[in-house]
């Protein structure tokens, strides 16, 4: 009887690692990245920016193509005509009143976008995180009723906005429900939480998120995406510098 128990324990010990490592951290991140990328997309949306002085709303239209090209045009009265263009590794800002085109670089990238908790630097991170981070699958946790993988990501390149990230990714849909962003030394810089999702093209997409800059006091930004259209025809000139000032 004792030998049978020992044999069962040995078999269980062999099976446990298989269960734990049935999926790797890299595979989870790859799947999470894949659901966020469309051939092309078009959407409208708004930033609801709250701080100790009150709340303001900034509206925008946006377009994207693949992982590297995107354009945001603000449509709210105070910012109407301002545009942010991302093309490959470059980011440009256009102010219509001054007819000025600015290439964002260095410390400029850390500036807040319209006073929100989103920085221009947040737009520069690529969506191929496997090539940018070392990924460790730390465990599993429940986030607001959703069973999630918990992953720690440590940057292996200097071109990413944050040296370290902790993310909670849905075990079924691979949607990111929550994320924390840190300095290299481990200081918390920013938090993100998904508030509302929508199924689009068979994928669960975050359409409302809350972003909080932990370097500020009493502030948060709610970003809402509406009227999202995917895999549509977009003019090749949409993401060109020549068209940015129009």
DSSP 66-100: TTTEEEEEE-SGGGTT-EEEEETTEEEEEETTTTE
Is there a domain that residue 109 lies in? yes
* % of residues, the chain, pLDDT over 70: 90
pLDDT value for 243 = 76
pLDDT at residue 18 tops 60: no
Within-domain flag for 138: yes
pLDDT greater than 70 at residue 7: no
Rounded Cα distance, 97 and 99, in Å: 6
* Cα separations in angstroms, 209 against 69, 101, 188, 193, 238: 21, 29, 18, 6, 26
The parent domain of residue 165 ranges over 25-244
Q: What's the pLDDT score for residue 159?
A: 82
Q: Is residue 129 part of a domain?
A: yes
Q: What is the pLDDT of residue 17?
A: 44
The alpha helices in 51-191, defined as continuous H runs, are: none
Is residue 18 assigned to a domain? no
- Output the domain CATH number for residue 50: 2.50.20.10
Token readout for 201 is: 């093209």
Q: Is residue 52 part of a domain?
A: yes
- Provide the number of structural domains found in the chain: 1
**Residue of 181 and 158 predicted with greater confidence:** 181
Work out the mean pLDDT of the chain and round it to a whole number.
88
pTM of the model: 0.85
The verdict on residue 218 lying in a domain is yes
Q: Does some domain include residue 159? A: yes
**How many whole angstroms from its chain centre is CA 160?**
12
Q: Does residue 209 form part of some domain?
A: yes
Contacts of 152 (CB under 8 A, 6+ apart): 135, 136, 138, 164, 165, 166
Q: What residue has token string 């354009």?
A: 71
């Amino acid at each position: 009887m004792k030998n049978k128990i020992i044999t069962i324990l040995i078999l269980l010990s062999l099976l446990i690692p298989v269960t734990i490592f049935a999926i790797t951290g890299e595979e989870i991140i790859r799947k999470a990245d894949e659901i966020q990328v469309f051939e092309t997309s078009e959407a409208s949306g708004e930033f609801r920016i709250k701080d100790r002085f009150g709340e303001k709303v900034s509206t925008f239209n946006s377009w994207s193509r693949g992982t590297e090209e995107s354009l945001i045009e603000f449509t709210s009265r105070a910012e109407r005509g301002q545009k942010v263009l991302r093309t490959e590794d470059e980011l440009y800002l256009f102010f219509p009143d001054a007819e000025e085109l600015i290439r964002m670089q260095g410390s400029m990238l850390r500036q807040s976008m319209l006073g929100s908790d989103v920085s221009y630097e947040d737009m520069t991170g690529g969506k191929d995180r496997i090539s940018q981070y070392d990924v460790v699958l730390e465990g599993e946790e429940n986030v607001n009723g959703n069973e999630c993988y918990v992953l720690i990501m440590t940057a292996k390149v200097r071109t990413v906005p944050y040296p370290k990230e902790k993310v909670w990714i849905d075990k079924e849909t691979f949607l990111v429900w929550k994320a924390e962003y840190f300095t290299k030394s481990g200081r918390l810089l920013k938090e993100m939480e998904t508030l509302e999702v929508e199924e689009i093209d068979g994928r669960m997409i975050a359409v409302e998120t809350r972003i909080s800059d932990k370097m500020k006091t009493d502030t948060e930004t709610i970003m809402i995406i509406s009227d999202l259209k995917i895999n549509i025809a977009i003019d090749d000139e949409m993401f060109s510098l020549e068209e940015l000032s129009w």
